[in-house]
Amino acid sequence: MRIFITGGTGFIGKHVVMRLIQGGHAICVLSREENKQEQCSYIKGDMASIEKWKEKLTAFKPEAVMHLAWEGIPDTSEEMAKKNLQMSLDLLELAGRVGCETFLGTGSCLEYGGLKGKVREEDVGTPPNSLYKAKVELYEKGKERAERLGIKFIWARPFYVYGPGQKKGSLIPQIIATFKKGEELKLQDPNAANDFVYVQDVADALTLLLEKEAPAGAYNIGYGGLTSVRNIVQAVAKTMGIPTPKLPPLGISHPPFFADTKKIEQATGWKPSTKLEEGIQNMIG
């Protein structure tokens, strides 16, 4: 399959690109910088300069577009959200004009903000800020435009993704770095829990949504259960062979939500396969 990818040089994107290459697909990645990955081609540019590289995309003739990019993170302002929304819709329009068959966009589990327990794709939450409100709007407008353009529109909602290459300021990389330095671990709420899913499993899920020709619609990509910060600390300490630091006693935290993954499993056969300890070991090296 000929696949064009935005965000292919990011945390999740790098793993997706390698997974697609391993699958024998022809890959073209949008990138601001020159790259030397011989197994795929590149278009130099960004989402704000579509007019400058649209002819190159036309020449590539993609069968599918996988849209992972979102400019400006961690900027969650309304202005940045609207900019990303419009750029994403412009990309969808371009995909239709170049004869693309499938557009796969990526949302977020925070589209389910405010919900509790197991969440399904049809559940409606309250996104916490403009960024995630724009994700919801992109899903709704994307479905409508894709239908008009005759393109299949798939929307993936990854949950809390972790793994090698994650930003240093994220939870697990911070815990690992703190332990390596021998410093005191400071946590806001060790009892908080989320649905943590390993990045390679996410890359597999995104790839299978294309390879297995999943029907149009939204798909949760999560582990399908909850892991507390306390359990992560214990797993990191165990993997590093050090004593687990003393943490505050168990308390009551806001009830979290986690993914119902039945839909993607039925459509593609995908199930997360990486346990937390294995994923942490891969991050520690």
CB under 8 Å to 202, separation ≥6 — which residues?
12, 15, 16, 158, 161, 221
Q: Which domains are delineated in the chain?
A: 2-159+199-221 (3.40.50.720), 162-195+224-257+273-284 (3.90.25.10)
- 221 DSSP β-pair partners: 158
- Residue 242: CB partners within 8 Å, gap ≥ 6? 179
Provide the strand spans (E) within the chain. 2-6, 26-31, 41-44, 64-67, 102-106, 117-119, 152-158, 160-162, 193-194, 196-198, 217-221, 227-228, 257-259
Instruction: List the chain pLDDT tens, one digit each, 285 residues.
Output: 999 999 999 999 999 999 999 999 999 999 988 666 678 999 999 999 999 999 999 999 999 999 999 999 989 999 999 999 999 999 999 999 999 999 999 999 999 999 999 999 999 999 999 999 999 999 999 999 999 999 999 999 999 999 999 999 999 999 999 999 999 998 888 889 999 999 999 999 999 999 999 999 999 999 999 999 999 999 999 999 999 998 877 665 666 899 999 999 999 999 999 999 999 999 998
How high is the pLDDT of residue 251?
61
Amino acid identity of residue 179, one-letter, is F
- What pLDDT does 36 receive? 62
Of the candidates 269, 149, 147, 163, the residue with the CA atom closest to the CA atom of residue 219: 269
Residue 154: phi and psi, rounded to 5, are -110, 140
Separation between Cα atoms, residue 172 and residue 8, nearest integer Å: 22
Say how many C-beta atoms besides its own lie within 10 A of residue 205's C-beta.
26
Among 122, 112, 212, 210, residue whose Cα is nearest residue 158:
112
CB atoms within 10 A of CB 121: 17
pTM attached to this predicted model: 0.95
Q: Supply the pLDDT for residue 37.
A: 66
Residue type, 204: D
Sequence length of the chain is 285
pLDDT of residue 33: 82
For helices 78-97 and 50-60, angle between their N-to-C axes, nearest 10 degrees: 30
